[in-house]
Chain A
Amino acid sequence: MKKLVLPALIALTLAACSSTGTDTAGASVEDRGAGVATVTAPGMSGSGIAALTDPNNILSKRSVFFDFDSYVIKPEGRPLIEAHARFLVQNPEMRMLVQGNTDERGSREYNLALGQKRADVVKQALMLLGAREAQIESVSLGEEKPRCDDRTETCYAENRRGDMLYSGEF
């Protein structure tokens, strides 16, 4: 596999566990009406890492897909999981965020929990292949970030997925 050169500093505190009771800085209060002040949520910067975005490299692919009501990685998703597991093993400083997603049918919060199951399955598969627990955070986006908006089975299948993001990409 192609050797990758890593940026020296990838020290995002991905696994920083509990940040409780902190006032969020960077949120701006813009206007007021009816006793409600308007706040704009700060966005994320997100600078990509070139080697991970090379379209000729399997590592540029980040999504594994799931069947309806399923939390099992399909055989066609295995090579991708294996490639990212190798990358994490070879680059122990690297951190990954796995985002689980569902299609839009049903309760948003229940779907958030189902998306978490998909993210956890991806994380466990990566760990079985040698990635360390501390490198990976699994979270869910539930049905909130569909890649495809149509109400078709094709679209739903595209939305039932786990996405792997590296430090700097989230």
Chain B
Amino acid sequence: MTKLLTAFRLFLAAALSSLALGAHAQLSIEITGAGATRFPVIIPIFENEGRLPQSVTDVVRANLERSGLFNLVDMGPLPMPESVMPDLAAVRARGADAVLTGSLIPMADGRYEVRFRLFDAQKQLELGAMALPMSPAQNRIVGHRIADFVFEKLTGLPGYFATRVAYVIKSGPNFELQVADADGMNAATALRSREPIISPAWSPDGQSLAYVSFEQKKPIVYVHTLATGQRRVIANFKGSNSAPTWSPDGNQLAVVLTKDGQSQLYVINADGSGVRRLAQSSGIDTEPFWGSDGHIYFTSDRGGSPQIYRIPAAGGSAQRVTFDGNYNVSPRLSFDGKLLAFITRNAGRFQVAVQDLATRQTTILTDSARDESPSFAPSGRMILYATDSGGRGVLSAVSTDGRIRQRLTVQAADVREPAWGPQIR
């Protein structure tokens, strides 16, 4: 399973700002393990694609390959135009079960219309077709959309290639909160600080991040609008302010405050007004995650050891969710509300685990020792998390069945605190 089936690297071309991390802050992605059965698919170059400065089908292929679910079969250098019925017998002869045909049709305004069709070579069916307008420079975003289309048609799962991830890089004494496309490209720094930044959390609209910054020598919760750089303090009470999580409608956040004693859960409006206590316990309550099921999942040591509990977001009584082991922390609910990812301590090693909430079955997905901060991809299939490789912080992703693995690294820097952004439709 962990056998290296394929490896490729993507280096981002985006020039980062010259200060601090600039030269080292390249995020590269490597597949370290892939699904046992990968769907064989052929994606030839699109007709007229050579007119673009950068390839669009390269982006589609790289996305699908990185998902770990597809095996890209080569069919030679010739395009298969969208208007022509492909030779599905030839596709099958190559060992592929599906083929994507496509063409770029020049438009009067200098843009192109990208038309593409997906065929099931076994059943000899057309699975769907789509047309998207694009300017010549939009190869990446259009490539993500096409990859989403192929992924959804062939897996039945929502595509997630057009999403973004946030993470924190530490290099020497410098911290940077960065945002990159889910394929590691287009990394940009949202916040640069000499003090730690932790716990980034995406707003449901994907426009803002809430996070904890220590720039005032204590933890304070900010909401940061990415496009403008505008930052707002939303929780700076006496004591510590931390662990923000957004409500699904984006109007409120749950946070952890110590203004009334130990770390406890509060709900606050997204503008920082209207703070109110969500729960009371005699111990620590922290790491809330506001699930799509209307519950807030959190870590509490009220029973003696840190375990995961949940409470209705409107308030009510808490219910314990994890029972195995004596250290279960950092809960994250999948977007469909069916799976809970968390970190469990297993014989002294901190590992990513997932619990099927319906059956209560828990599976440990990793064999590493220092896993932290799990975060679901919007499809619910991949879990991004921070771990350690050779004493350095790296990001890894693992599928919820443990079969697919990827690693994201930044040269000469520690990467930590990943948060996978929402799907924006």
- CB neighbours (8 Å) of A40 from chain B are 191-193
Q: Chain B residues near A139 (CB, 8 Å)?
A: 217-219, 239-240, 258
Q: Which size class do A's interface residues fall under?
A: 35 or more
B273 within 8 A of partner (CB) = yes
Q: Given A17-B237, A21-B232, A41 and B191 touching (CB < 8 A)? A: yes
Given contacts A41-B195, A113-B286, contact A97 B188 (CB under 8 A): no
Q: Is B360 an interface residue (CB 8 A)?
A: no
Which residue of B is nearest A104, CB measured?
A: B370
Cβ 8 A contact of A20, one of B188, B191, B234: B234
Asked if B216 contacts A144 (CB within 8 A), the reply is no
B190–A38 touching, CB < 8 Å: yes
For A32, A33, A39, A114, which residue has the most chain B Cβ atoms within 10 angstroms? A39
Is B198 a contact partner of A109 (Cβ separation < 8 A)? Answer: yes
Contact residue among B198, B234, B262 (Cβ-Cβ distance under 8 Å from A144): B198
**Interchain Cβ contacts within 8 Å, total number:** 190
* Interface of A, helix, strand, loop or mixed by DSSP: mixed
Interface residue B161 (Cβ < 8 Å from any Cβ of A): no
Decide yes or no whether B231 CB sits under 8 A from chain A: yes
Q: Which residues of A contact B353 (CB under 8 A)?
A: none
A40 to B176, CA, bound (A): 9
Cβ of A33: which chain B residues have Cβ within 8 Å of it? Answer: 14-16, 186, 188
CB distance from A23 to the nearest CB of B (A): 6
Taking A23-B230, A33-B188, A139-B219 as contacts, is the C-beta distance between A110 and B239 under 8 angstroms? Answer: no
Using an 8 Å CB-CB cutoff, how does the interface string of B225-255 with A read, 1 for contact, 0 for none? 0111111111111111011000000000000
Pick the contact of A109: B194, B239, B242, B391 (CB < 8 A): B242
Complex contact A39–B14 (CB within 8 A): no
B256 part of interface (Cβ distance < 8 Å): yes
The residue in chain B whose Cβ has the minimal distance to the Cβ of A29 is: B229
Q: Which residues of A contact B190 (CB under 8 A)?
A: 36-39
> Given A18-B275, A29-B229, A139-B218, do A117 and B237 touch, yes or no (CB 8 Å)?
no
Q: Does A76 contact B (CB under 8 A)?
A: no
Q: A110 near B299 (CB under 8 angstroms)?
A: yes
Q: How far is the CB of A164 from chain B (nearest CB, A)?
A: 13
Collect the chain A residues with CB atoms within 8 Å of residue B327's CB.
106
Whether A110 and B306, one on each chain, are in contact in the complex, defined by CB atoms closer than 8 angstroms, is yes
Tell whether A153 is near chain B: CB-to-CB under 8 Å: no
CB distance from B330 to the nearest CB of A (A): 5
Q: In the assembly, what is the distance between CA of A49 and CA of B214, in Å?
A: 22
With a cutoff of 8 Å between Cβ atoms, the chain B residues found around residue A32 in the complex are 188
Q: Are A170 and B191 in contact (CB under 8 A)?
A: no
Q: Which of A18, A23, A38 touches B188 (beta carbons < 8 Å)?
A: A38
* Inter-subunit contact A41/B242 (CB<8 Å): no
A107 with B330: CB separation less than 8 A: yes
Task: Report yes or no: B239 in contact with A31, Cβ–Cβ below 8 A.
Answer: no
Given contacts A20-B272, A137-B238, contact A113 B198 (CB under 8 A): no
User: Which residues, 273 to 310 on B, are CB-close (under 8 Å) to A?
Assistant: 273, 275, 284, 286-287, 299, 306
Cβ–Cβ contact B284 & A21, under 8 A: no
Contact status of A41 and B192, CB under 8 A, knowing A109-B286, A139-B240: yes
Q: Is A73 an interface residue (CB 8 A)?
A: no
Interface contact A109-B232, CB-CB below 8 Å: no
Contact A44 B231 (CB under 8 A): no
Point out the residues of chain A lying under 8 angstroms from B187, CB to CB: 34
| Cβ of B341 to closest chain A Cβ, rounded Å | 13
In the complex, the chain B residue whose C-beta lies closest to that of A115 is B240
Q: Quick check: B228 and A37 within 8 Å, CB to CB? A: yes
A35 on the B face (CB < 8 A)? yes
The answer to whether A37 touches B229 (Cβ under 8 A) is yes
Q: Which of A29, A36, A39, A99 has the most CB of B within 10 A?
A: A36
Please, how many angstroms separate the alpha-carbon atoms of A9 and B216 in the complex?
20
Residues of B within 8 A of A110 (CB): 284, 286-287, 299, 306, 329-330
**Contact: A23 with B232, CB < 8 Å?**
yes
The answer to whether B217 touches A20 (Cβ under 8 A) is no
**CB-based nearest B residue for A31:** B17
In the assembled complex, the Cα of A34 lies from the Cα of B17 at a distance in Å of 13
Task: Provide the residues of chain B in CB contact with A140, threshold 8 Å.
Answer: 219, 240, 258
In the bound assembly, the distance between CA atoms of A15 and B181 in angstroms comes to 40
A145 to B210, CA, bound (A): 21
- Alpha-carbon distance A99/B213, docked complex (angstroms): 15
Inside 8 A of A34's CB, which chain B residues have their CB? 14, 179-181, 186-188
When distances are taken between beta carbons in the complex, the residues of chain A under 8 Å from B213 are 41
- Judging by beta carbons under 8 Å apart, are A30 and B17 in contact? yes
| 8 pairs, A vs B, C-beta closer than 8 Å | A22-B233, A42-B215, A99-B217, A109-B286, A140-B258, A141-B214, A144-B196, A165-B217
Which 7 interchain pairs have the tightest Cβ spacing?
A37-B229, A20-B272, A41-B193, A36-B188, A144-B196, A113-B263, A139-B218
Q: Given contacts A35-B188, A39-B191, A41-B194, could you give 8 more A-B pairs where the C-beta distance is less than 8 Å?
A: A33-B16, A97-B218, A108-B372, A112-B286, A113-B262, A137-B218, A140-B219, A165-B217
